[in-house]
Amino acid sequence: MASGKLIVLTGPSGVGKGTLVRALLTHHPKLYLSVSATTRSPREGEVDGQDYYFLNKAAFETMIEENQLLEWAEYAGNYYGTPRAKVEEKINQSLNVLLEIEVIGAKAIKKSFPDALRIFILPPSLAELEHRLRSRSTDSELAIVRRLERAKEELEVSKEFDQCIINDDLETALQELEKAIFSHQIKIAESELTKKSTLFIRDNDD
Ligand code: ADP
Ligand code: 5GP
């Protein structure tokens, strides 16, 4: 049985990653969305174990020490990380797993999952990013300023990812995202088939 694939969505806060992921999951309910751990306080309406595992700093640091995180990063004054066990379990069950994470973590994932498809979501402009962060009304002024500062650094490394998608018109971005994920899966399946048939030819040559 082939193992599932890891799909990583990254990009600056406020660019629309969460919005795209929610839309993607309604179209493709078999995708598994990893639930991250964070030391950030819950926003109104966020549920522990569903939106995030909300931990204190000591509990998060224990997860780091015990190698329970696939990747982690400090972002705007808090820790964020991907619990390893669930991702590995789902991949072993042949499910495709989606991570929605910031840029440092997305870069680090390549070490443990070299085959991961890593997609960078870009805003149409910095001004529009700021507008989206503000109109979301979830973050304090300080958090917005920190996120915008970080966004400038993040945008500089967008080219290091497998694909960039501009989230201007939401429907267009969603279609591009689906196309990227679908064509990546075909490519991987083809390369696995090629590997198998090469082995088969070699076996028959012996
Ligand atoms: P992220 O998860 O990257 O932090 P969100 O998904 O929370 O970003 O989106 C930030 C804000 O931008 C939300 O209010 C969302 O409704 C809005 N948004 C997302 N995509 C678009 C888009 N294509 N056009 C306009 N607004 C958008
Ligand atoms: P927020 O506080 O807006 O929920 O998230 C802040 C940033 O942290 C976002 O860019 C989000 O994608 C990222 N993030 C969420 N979970 C993780 C994670 O597990 N690891 C990393 N590295 N970043 C994450």
Q: What is the pLDDT of residues 19-54, one digit of tens each?
A: 999 999 999 999 999 999 999 999 999 999 999 999
Which tokens is 195 given?
Answer: 């590997």
Cα–Cα distance between 69 and 59 in angstroms, integer? 12
Instruction: Name which of 168, 72, 81, 158 is nearest 120 in CA terms.
Output: 158
CATH superfamily of 6-34+96-205: P-loop containing nucleotide triphosphate hydrolases (3.40.50.300)
Instruction: Enumerate the β-bridge partners of residue 80.
Output: 38, 73
pLDDT of 187 strictly over 90: no
Protein residues whose CB sits closer than 6 Å to any atom of ligand 1: 13-19, 132, 135-136, 167, 170
Q: Could you tell me the residue ranges of all domains in the chain?
A: 6-34+96-205
Protein residues whose CB sits closer than 6 Å to any atom of ligand 2: 13, 17, 36, 40, 71, 73, 75, 80-82, 100-102, 105
Cα–Cα distance between 12 and 9 in angstroms, integer? 10
Nearest CA to ligand 2 atom 5: 13
Nearest CA to ligand 2 atom 10: 102
The chain-wide mean pLDDT, for the chain, equals 92
Q: What is the reported pTM?
A: 0.91
